Chain A
């Protein structure tokens, strides 16, 4: 995903991603990212926890207000 984000950003489209995989995300230096301690297969939150999923989405989309690149933001979600 990080490479896709990088390519879209170069193409003039602002990007943000979110990931539970901190090391892999940092390794590819995406333009904007949030990171969590959630699980593989449940990237946005736990199943049935719509409030948590919305928090992750909102926190991620907020980063689009900043010019890239910015440092990845760690969210307190697990």
Chain B
């Protein structure tokens, strides 16, 4: 993970000593104590021909399908680091959103502002992308412990991407 987050150990130590320690002592969140996350250079990667690529949609909007999944723990001050895999036949209108850290007005009116499944299937049908991967990776993007993101969630996402044999990923934060 050095190329991904080279300052991980120092960041985690600062997070635990400052933000987390304050929260555990007081039950209060103080963002002034949160360590900045700044990385200098992006890792290198290959180009892909998107017209031939299998593309994985990754959303941090907290989307889930109530009939298929438990909701994310949206009210947890310490975050939720789990993922849900949502089959792409589920239309965006089937999604519910468990995420207390953004205004849901827009996504309630039009879920494609955050989970553009129908748009991507249209691009697939038009031959502008090879295919949309058969599942969407969904998580709830309130995750103050970046160490846990790296240690717990990212390995799950990479495993899913490999299992689905995708060539590319399109990441849509909320």
Task: Enumerate chain A interface residues (CB-CB to B < 8 A).
Answer: 1-19, 21, 27-31, 39-48, 50, 53-54, 57-58, 60-62, 64-69
Contact = CB atoms under 8 A, between A and B. Distances in A.
Interface of B: 1, 3-5, 36-50, 53, 55-56, 58, 60, 102-107, 109-110, 112-114, 116, 119-120, 122-123, 128-129, 141, 146, 149-150, 153-154, 157-158, 161-162, 166-174
A65 B48 contact: yes
A68 B45 contact: yes
Given A6-B42, A57-B170, A46 B106 contact: yes
Nearest to B141: A1
A6 B3 contact: yes
25 contacts: A1-B141, A3-B5, A5-B169, A13-B169, A14-B48, A16-B168, A16-B171, A17-B171, A27-B39, A28-B37, A41-B102, A41-B174, A42-B106, A43-B174, A44-B113, A47-B110, A57-B116, A64-B50, A64-B53, A64-B168, A66-B47, A67-B44, A67-B46, A68-B45, A69-B45
A43 B45 contact: no
Q: Which 3 A-B pairs have the closest CB atoms?
A: A69-B42, A47-B110, A68-B45
A36 to B, nearest CB: 12
Contacts, number: 186
A69 B141 CA distance: 24
B110 A14 contact: no
A70 to B, nearest CB: 8
A1 B46 CA distance: 19
Contacts of B128: 58, 61
